Each structure stands twice: as C-alpha cells, then as structure tokens.
Structure 1
C-alpha cells in the first residue's frame, strides 16, 4: 500500500502566494468566526463541515405522464417517503452515515449523509390514484400519469379536396 503524504509548505524553500480571503482575514484580525454560531444550529449539528445530502432530481414530461428521477445511492426503500397532497409532491428520506471505527484515518471525507426533503408543485391533470414509485440501482423513479382528459389528442386534418363527413349538402 502506498503512503499518502500531505504537504503543507512549512519549512520548504517554496514561496507561496496566498489568495486574499476576506473571511479568513476577518477571523485572523478579530479572532471571530462568522459561521461559528451557525454550527450550533440544529440543522448543522453534528455535520462538522460536512455538506448536506441533497439528491439531484430530473423531471420530465411525456405525452401521458410526468416522470421524476432522483439519484439516491445508499438510501434504503424503508428510508424514503413519497407523498402527494393536492398538487404537491414531496420526497423525503435519509442516508445513514457509515460507522466509523476507532483508529481510522480519513484523508478525504466528501460523501454527504443525513436527511433530505424536496417538494414539487405539479401542474393540473395529474392522476394521483395511479402514481408509481420504484427504487432500482440507487435511482428513485416516480411516474405520475396524466388524466386522460389532459393528454394530447391527435386531430385528423382533412385535405381541401375531400369534403368533411359532417358537412351539410344543399
């Protein structure tokens, strides 16, 4: 196994130029962290700089349905709740963090965990009685069919050489 080393530039002959960061400078000058109070907020509690888990959604309309797809890798079916109330579709759930063992050392920890909630306002015409939800290979697919009266209907166009059947003859 290869050794992973982190260079911090201390004690080296390489001269680094530091980008100006107003927040870093404010913290250094005033010994005040503007985000310190946010860390105690319940939403941020226990995250230690970790980004919240916000799944990516794809929403498309077909001729007979609205299809929602969400990337939910590592989320179990039991941890997902989908509700439809009137014209409001809500998807919520959680992705549990993995257990950390004593003595483990992480060199990068960029994966997000925690609770999420997304809500969408639907257009008129969704048939809420026949919504289908499927979780497969970490992708949640929701299919919300349209009611028949709002689905597009093809109208036959007659040529001018042919007289319409319903026309009145004199």
Structure 2
C-alpha cells in the first residue's frame, strides 16, 4: 500500500530568530554539560570536573580544572588506590536599589573520585593550584616482594 504524500497548506515557513537563539542556547548548554557535568544537590550545583592522569616512571601526575577556586577551599584525600578531590566556593552579592536591600548567595561544589592505576604513597605527594588548574604529584609505591626460591624435586 502506498501512502499519499503529505501536503502543507500553511505556506512557506518563516525564520524565527528567537527560536534560533533558543536552539543555540540549548546546544551551548549541552556543550558545557558535556565538558563539566553538574548535578543539583542540596540547593547548589555540584560539578564533576574532568581529570587527567599521566603515569610517569616514578610517579602519577593528576590534573583537573577548578576555575575560581582558592587552595584553601580544596580538599584532597587518598584512600588506598582512590583519589578524592572536593572543593567548595561561595559568592555573596549585596545591592540596594530604591530602598530595597537585596542579598544573593551562590555556592558551587566540585567533587571527583577516581581509582588510580597503581599504588601510590602519601609521603612525598605534592599539590598546587595555579590559574584554576590543580596538579597533584603522587609518588608510586614500590612494593618489593622477596625473591622466593622453588626447589626442584
């Protein structure tokens, strides 16, 4: 059975600049979400930043972007082979217009936990934040197993 072709009697469609702006905004929002996903949590936003782990001969280098975060607001925890990075920042804005006092507060959290590809040790680990990029250096743990001899029967 052959279906009849659809016909449109509304005439040619017109370009709507506002619809184009809305679609562009949706695409931009999706790009930002893909780059730095976030979830609503307790009235604020929690960002899950991307993490790069580079394995070198004697250490792991971990980098992540934490824009607008001061070093005092970052917490790094190492639990066995798991690395946890969390940060909190808050902004407060106050303005007064025509007798109205307006205070706004916004809080943002960053949280990421990753399993490390090799065992590391806390001793000798360093971390620095520069221009919104956190870099953590983790020395690899050397697990030396004693040589075991096997006797031939």
TM-score by length of 1: 0.50
The alignment's C-alpha RMSD in Å is 3.3
For this pair of structures, how many residues does the alignment match?
105
Give the corresponding residue for 1:64. 58
In the TM superposition, residue 60 of structure 1 has moved relative to its aligned partner by: 1.2
- State how far apart, in whole Å, the 2-side matches of 1:138 and 1:145 are: 23
User: 3-state SS of the aligned residue for 1:99?
Assistant: strand
Q: 1:125 aligns with which of 119, 123, 128?
A: 119
Q: 1:83 aligns with which of 64, 77, 85?
A: 77
Give the corresponding residue for 2:16. 16
User: 3-state SS of the aligned residue for 2:123?
Assistant: helix
- State how far apart, in whole Å, the 2-side matches of 1:147 and 1:52 are: 32
Instruction: Give the alignment of 1:10-159 within 5 angstroms.
Output: 16=16, 43=41, 45=43, 52-97=46-91, 99=93, 101=95, 114-149=108-143
- State how far apart, in whole Å, the 1-side matches of 2:118 and 2:47 are: 30
Of Structure 1 and Structure 2, the greater strand share is in 2
TM-score by length of 2: 0.54
- State how far apart, in whole Å, the 2-side matches of 1:74 and 1:129 are: 28
- Structure 2 unaligned regions, length at least 5: 1-13, 21-39, 98-105, 145-153
- Structure 1 unaligned regions, length at least 5: 1-13, 20-41, 104-111, 151-170
**TM-superposition CA deviations, 1:112-161 (whole Å, max 9, x none):** 951121101123331222211111222110011113458xxxxxxxxxxx
**Residues 81 and 119, structure 2, Cα contact 8 Å, conserved in 1:** no
- State how far apart, in whole Å, the 2-side matches of 1:85 and 1:114 are: 24
